[in-house]
Amino acid sequence: MHMSDIKRVVEQVSKDKGISREVLIKALEEALKSAARKKFGNKMEIEVQYNEEVGEIEVFQFKEVAEVITEPALEISLEEGRKLDPDCEIGDSLGTKMDTSTFGRIAAQSAKQVIIQKIKDAEKDAVFASFIDRKGEILNGIVQRIDRGDIIVNLGQTEGIVPVREQVPREGYRRGDRIRALILEVLHESRGPQIILSRTHVDFLINLFKMEVPEISEGIVKIMGAAREPGVRAKIAVASSNADIDPVGACVGMKGSRVQNVVQELRGEKIDIISWHVDPARYVCNALAPAEISRVIIDEANRTMEVIVPDEFLSIAIGKRGQNVRLASRLAGWHLDVKSETKYSEAMRSGYDSLLALTGVGISLADALYEKGFFSAEEISKASVEDLIQVKGIGEESAIKLIDASEQAIQTETAEDEPTAAIDTAGDQIVEATAETDETDETDEPVEPVEPVGPAAAVEPTGEE
């Protein structure tokens, strides 16, 4: 590169790469300084500066005016110095312009390397600066190449990468395809592309909705949560700050146009748009749609919910390979345990019977225990005296007796010989199998805890409530 071409090169690179002229000129000055040092050694005093008018980088060598010259590279005699500056004295430092062409080919090569490196560094800084605030945005790019499964994307001024882990399974891309993805990470020091992109992140889905639904970008409709299994199914919960605007309708769009655009971009991923609710139980019921829910039993302490569904909705609520319940659980932030009504009422009835079988428990006391959440003898055995005193009609003494009775009942049950236990479990399996196939009357309406009639009433001990 001829020195007089520098101005043109600086202008061109600055325009193409978006790097400021000052940064480039500084890089060139440093490059020439290091080239001069390589040629003439480190001791030599050298100054480099860019001459704007001529468009050249000038290199000056400074020598000290000395009476006796011991270091010709660093000193100049008074006589020689007077030729350059008639007023100079001993001890002055005089600068002479050097002929840059004397640096030789190796020096010019090293200057070129420094310039290339500087341009790369400055490019990286420029990319980092322009993308660091755009994390979470969606970008469009063109697939440039596939490198060990990673997709390298041309983003115009730089390259991005969609690593294998951020790609949706069964989505294929070829060179030249258009691709949309979310900016996941912007790395400053990086050998390869600095911009990490993702198509699997839940924010990709959220931002696609923001782009499609003006009510979301205006802040009228809010996305309260989202969960997705990339490429298969997703759930998104929305709420509206304006009572006149239906959040689900806004996201679905006229004849499903808005949601359809998102589904197309996600290559057919099914999307359930559900209405968010402040009450967690209602929210979970919405999240499990399209399944109908009979009732929900909440355990606040462990953030778990037991969800009871009519038998014919069990497979819908659970979903293919447990997907529906898994996504609903992730969306709501609760652990969900889905049971069919038949299974639930079986468990409830046997629990209720185990209460009635305890010494001193009649129907009214069994009901009172039931209302307070003690559904079986086993639960009473785990309860404390303080817990049981809360139940109407139980004092401290009767609470202790009840706990003893329930512990004994459980011991008796476990002590019974194993064949009967085997029959019990077999019986359970039969119930489970029929829950899927038989449509009994019980499935038509929610099953409330049943008060046993007949034989169970006959077991009722006398008197005590």
Token representation of residue 319: 């979903």
Under CATH, what is the fold of the domain 285-465?
A: GMP Synthetase; Chain A, domain 3 (3.30.300)
pLDDT at residue number 308:
87
CATH class of the domain defined by 3-129? alpha beta
Domain pair 135-200 / 285-465, same fold: no
pLDDT in tens, 140-199: 999 999 988 899 999 887 889 999 999 998 888 999 999 999 999 988 776 767 899 999
Are the beta carbons of 98 and 61 closer than 8 angstroms? yes
**What pTM, to 2 d.p., does this model score?**
0.61
List Cβ<8 Å contacts ≥24 apart for 348-351.
348/375, 348/447, 348/449, 348/450, 349/450, 349/452, 350/376, 351/375, 351/376, 351/377, 351/378, 351/379
Q: Where are the domains of the chain?
A: 3-129, 135-200, 285-465
Lowest mean pLDDT among 71-80, 184-193, 264-273, 348-357: 348-357
Token representation of residue 317: 């609520």
Residue of 44, 24, 22 lying closest to 34 (CA atoms): 44
CATH class of the domain defined by 135-200? mainly beta
**Taking 70 as the threshold, does the pLDDT of residue 367 lie above it?**
no
pLDDT at residue number 330:
92
Query: How many Å apart are CA 196 and CA 306, to the nearest integer?
Result: 40
**Taking 80 as the threshold, does the pLDDT of residue 245 lie above it?**
yes
Lowest mean pLDDT among 80-84, 189-193, 263-267: 189-193
pLDDT at residue number 464:
41
Query: How many Å apart are CA 377 and CA 19, to the nearest integer?
Result: 77
Query: How many Å apart are CA 100 and CA 35, to the nearest integer?
Result: 10
pLDDT at residue number 301:
81
* % of the chain exceeding 90 in pLDDT: 20
Q: State the average pLDDT over residues 49-78.
A: 77
Query: How many Å apart are CA 392 and CA 464, to the nearest integer?
Result: 12
Residue 167, burial from CB neighbour count under 10 angstroms (0-12, 13-18, 19+): buried
Are the beta carbons of 152 and 144 closer than 8 angstroms? yes
pLDDT at residue number 222:
93
Lowest mean pLDDT among 63-72, 78-87, 157-166, 452-461: 452-461
